[in-house]
A and B are shown apart, each in its own frame.
Chain A
Amino acid sequence: GENVEQHPSTLSVQEGDSAVIKCTYSDSASNYFPWYKQELGKRPQLIIDIRSNVGEKKDQRIAVTLNKTAKHFSLHITETQPEDSAVYFCAASSGSARQLTFGSGTQLTVLP
């Protein structure tokens, strides 16, 4: 089955700096890679996703890149703000069901 590894497990940045979180996956059939943000005590919420036919996608301060050959994808957050502080999860899935295999999560702390 799919295995997703995520690094780092914790990340602290100064407000205004950029944050990068990296994930690798094992199943070459995976074709959908979402990123979820989870605030303390709340549900995971999708912030951006990318499909395997695209190498990069951007939405305002958030971007995701995908390298299918190397089987890794990354989340980039620019101009970080304190409200970006949360746990971020990467995930991968194949097929139309969208059953997700999650990475272990990254606790991002943005210091004011």
Chain B
Amino acid sequence: DAGVIQSPRHEVTEMGQEVTLRCKPISGHDYLFWYRQTMMRGLELLIYFNNNVPIDDSGMPEDRFSAKMPNASFSTLKIQPSEPRDSAVYFCASTWAGTEAFFGQGTRLTVV
């Protein structure tokens, strides 16, 4: 398996635009997590799914953020409209219950 795959690796967008980040978890993993990393706030959990169902979205900062997992092999994190303070590295991770979480390479988002 190629591991957790995220796209794009880098995204630069203008304030107010919609941004969609994508994640393909490791095959067979039943949990998927979205984390955000910034210098100020460190690594923080935004939302996680179990068997494609959102379980806890309490970390999603605002209604501008939304996440979906239409099937076991794909998830998206959307920001609409984007703001400069959304600039961060967004990581997707997946795990099979009871095992370690594997992280994707991350998407570096810059909102100008």
Q: What is A's interface to B at a CB cutoff of 8 Å?
A: 1, 34, 42-46, 49, 89, 96-105
Contacts and interface: CB of A to CB of B under 8 A. Distances in A.
11 contacts: A43-B104, A45-B103, A89-B42, A97-B31, A97-B50, A98-B98, A99-B56, A100-B33, A100-B43, A100-B101, A101-B45
Interface of B: 31, 33, 42-45, 48, 50, 55-56, 58, 91, 95, 97-106
Contacts of A96: 97-98
Nearest to A101: B45
Nearest to A96: B97
Looking at A45, A49, A96, A104, the one whose CB has the most chain B CB atoms below 10 A away is A96
B105 A105 contact: no
B48 A99 contact: yes
Contact of A97 (B48, B102, B106): B48
A104 B42 CA distance: 6
A34 B91 CA distance: 17
Contacts of A42: 105
